[in-house]
Homo-oligomer: A and B are copies of this chain.
Amino acid sequence: MSEQIKLSKISTRAPKGIDKDETKGKTLAILQELDELQNLMFAERKHALLVVIQGMDASGKDGLIKDVFGSLNPQGVKVQSFKTPTEEEAAHDFLWRIHKNTPEKGMIQLFNRSHYEDVLITRVHGWCDDKTAKRRIDAINNFEQLLEENATHVIKLYLHVSHEEQRKRLEERLEIPRKMWKYNQSDLAESELWEAYMKYYETVFKKCDSVPWHIIPADQNWYKSYLVATIIRDTLRAFKMEYPELKE
């Protein structure tokens, strides 16, 4: 099990001295390589990639999906957003709707929120007691192990914004017409529960670490995209893939 992480001690910004324009240029080059790697992955059909994207409201999950995965071939990328469970979903175990959406070999599957909400928002609001949470955490670990054993590589990302940056972005949703559709009345109330969320996130990072978490400083979108593109690229490179030869 990992050491206890204190999110408040981890920077939400790029280290000093990192140049924005230079980094954007690097990201572009990485995305070009990613495009090639994804084509190879789709052709080879030996590996699947599941990218779990977690973060507070307005931490930039949607933007990340567009910026890093928007230039890839849509035939090889699927996105699933997990919201309040439907009646049918709620009538099953919490991993049922998740498992249905895991990727087949050759594919990249993005989860916009995930099974982790079942030990985050539910705990913050007291819909899930500690005992249930413990059982779920064990189930999540077993589930992720099952995936890893079956050529589905899991990448878990936490988009780490500061409370201040989050407030700024939520306010924009009230002011900029193009962003208003993203606003939910519950957002501001949830934002008030920041400390509780941080506590349960820290628990998740500690207890669900057999597949490691990446804490991504996310106050600056250009730095966030650069880090995530790098992680995805390095993961795909490590698959050491090859184009299949002619079928007989």
A residues adjacent to B (C-beta < 8 A):
43-44, 62, 65-66, 69-75, 77-79, 81, 110, 112, 174, 177-178, 180-185, 243-248
The answer on a CB contact under 8 Å between B75 and A81 is: yes
Closest-CB distance, A83 to chain B (whole angstroms) = 13
Which residues of B lie under 8 Å from residue A44 when comparing CB positions? 181
A-B contact pairs, 9 of them (CB 8 A): A43-B181, A44-B181, A70-B70, A70-B74, A72-B74, A177-B243, A178-B243, A180-B245, A181-B244
Which residues of B lie under 8 Å from residue A246 when comparing CB positions? 174, 180, 183
Which B residue sits closest to A77, measured CB to CB? B74
Which B residue sits closest to A68, measured CB to CB? B74
Which residues of B lie under 8 Å from residue A65 when comparing CB positions? 73-75
Chain B CB count within 10 A is highest, among A75, A112, A174, A247, for A75
> How many copies make up the complex?
2
Distance, CA A228 to CA B69, complexed state (A): 22
Which residues of B lie under 8 Å from residue A182 when comparing CB positions? 43
Distance, CA A244 to CA B173, complexed state (A): 12
Distance, CA A245 to CA B66, complexed state (A): 23
Distance, CA A44 to CA B72, complexed state (A): 25
Distance, CA A84 to CA B248, complexed state (A): 19
